[in-house]
């Protein structure tokens, strides 16, 4: 196999070396540069490319096809940024890594929910001001008394449901596709029931044109006024402006966010000072009932290694005339 790896992160360098050591007959070329129309010619004469989820357009796929590329392997699960139809028209297979470590993301969501449930943000804020008291309004609850609603019951949602159920919580779930194997861990309900009954609402659902903005003013009004929203999926699932209003006016209790609308302009960037950060982000990170991370829920050693190796494994299968395990087009 002759493969070109784009957007190689420093933490992936060791995994690239491991792959090359284990596959000495492969030609593996790496770069820290992103895959764009300008850099696509680097892959001329290569069988396949592996990349992080940059926005991949029809023009880019045409150029890759002209350069002889037959496979683009994404080192992430999300494909909403990829023109899959254009890739198919260009004769290029596209694969993702849907199961690199479901637990990594599920654990991150659980961590954020527990941080908010036990009101650590409020305590941290008052202690920084020299106040080490325990005010009555900061009395918290325990997870086994909570109802947790999981929206989206694929691999990650299922892992989250198992974790919460193991801690004693009542777990309910919504997904258009029924999975009987999850019955020991949760009860299936409709989305409206989930929003009304849940103390914690956790999103693990792919973004589609139909569910963009699925949580907005009306949905927040349905939720309990102390409910916690956990979004580990896609920022566009939630109307950010409506979320800020709901948090400010105590229509919901808190939010743990690993994703946010328009995050590609913010996450992964280092600003000179907080004043340079977009207003919505500044407002959210200033709230004691909000905890945010920069789309890093997946960011564990095991997950990053699995993403790298799974993407290259699928490229290798394609070059051998076999179907990729995780082909998405």
81 has catalytic annotation: no
Transcribe 226-275 into DSSP letters: T-EEEE-S-GGGB-HHHHHHHHHTTSSSEEEES--TTGGGTTT---SSGG
Task: List the catalytic residue out of 219, 295, 316, 317.
Answer: 295
Q: Which of 71, 75, 155, 234 is catalytic?
A: 234
User: How many angstroms from the chain centroid is the CA of residue 313?
Assistant: 22
Tokens 């908010």, residue? 116
Q: What SS3 state is found at 299?
A: coil
User: How far is the C-alpha of 329 from the C-alpha of 321, rounded, in Å?
Assistant: 16
Question: Is 13 an annotated catalytic residue?
Answer: no
Distant-in-sequence, close-in-space partners of 46: CB < 8 Å, separation ≥ 6: 2, 3, 4, 27, 29, 67, 68, 69
Active site residue 234: yes
> Which residue in the list 12, 219, 251, 263 is annotated as catalytic?
263
Tokens 């959210």 correspond to 284
Phi then psi dihedrals of residue 231, to 5 deg:
-120, 110
Question: Which residues are designated catalytic?
Answer: 234, 263, 295
């Amino acid at each position: 196999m002759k493969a070109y790896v784009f957007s190689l992160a420093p933490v992936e360098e060791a995994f690239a070396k491991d792959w090359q050591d284990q596959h000495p007959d492969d030609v593996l070329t790496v770069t820290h540069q992103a895959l764009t129309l300008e850099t696509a010619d680097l892959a001329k004469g290569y069988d396949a490319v592996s990349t992080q989820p940059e926005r991949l357009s029809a023009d880019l796929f045409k150029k890759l096809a002209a350069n002889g590329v037959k496979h683009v392997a994404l080192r992430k699960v999300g494909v909403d940024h990829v023109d899959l139809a254009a890739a198919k028209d260009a004769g290029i297979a596209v694969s993702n890594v849907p199961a690199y470590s479901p637990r990594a993301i599920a654990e991150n969501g659980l961590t954020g929910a527990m941080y908010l449930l036990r009101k650590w943000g409020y305590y941290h804020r008052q202690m920084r001001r020299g106040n080490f008291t325990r005010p009555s309004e900061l009395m918290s609850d325990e997870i086994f008394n909570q109802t947790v609603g999981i929206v989206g019951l694929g691999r990650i949602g299922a892992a989250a449901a198992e974790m919460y159920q193991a801690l004693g919580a009542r777990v309910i779930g919504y997904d258009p596709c029924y999975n009987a194997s999850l019955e020991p861990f949760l009860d299936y309900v409709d989305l409206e029931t989930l929003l009304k009954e849940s103390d914690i609402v956790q999103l693990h659902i792919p973004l589609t044109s139909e569910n963009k903005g699925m949580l907005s003013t009306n949905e927040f009004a349905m939720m309990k006024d102390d409910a916690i929203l956990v979004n580990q999926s896609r920022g566009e699932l939630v109307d950010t402006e409506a979320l800020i209003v709901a948090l400010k006016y105590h229509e919901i209790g808190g939010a743990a966010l690993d994703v946010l609308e328009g995050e590609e302009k913010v996450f992964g960037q280092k600003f000179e000072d907080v004043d340079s950060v977009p207003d919505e982000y500044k407002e959210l990170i200033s709230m004691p009932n909000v905890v945010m991370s920069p789309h890093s829920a997946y960011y564990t050693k095991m997950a990053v290694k699995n993403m790298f190796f799974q993407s290259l494994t699928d490229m290798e299968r394609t070059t051998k005339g076999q179907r990729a395990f995780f082909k998405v087009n």
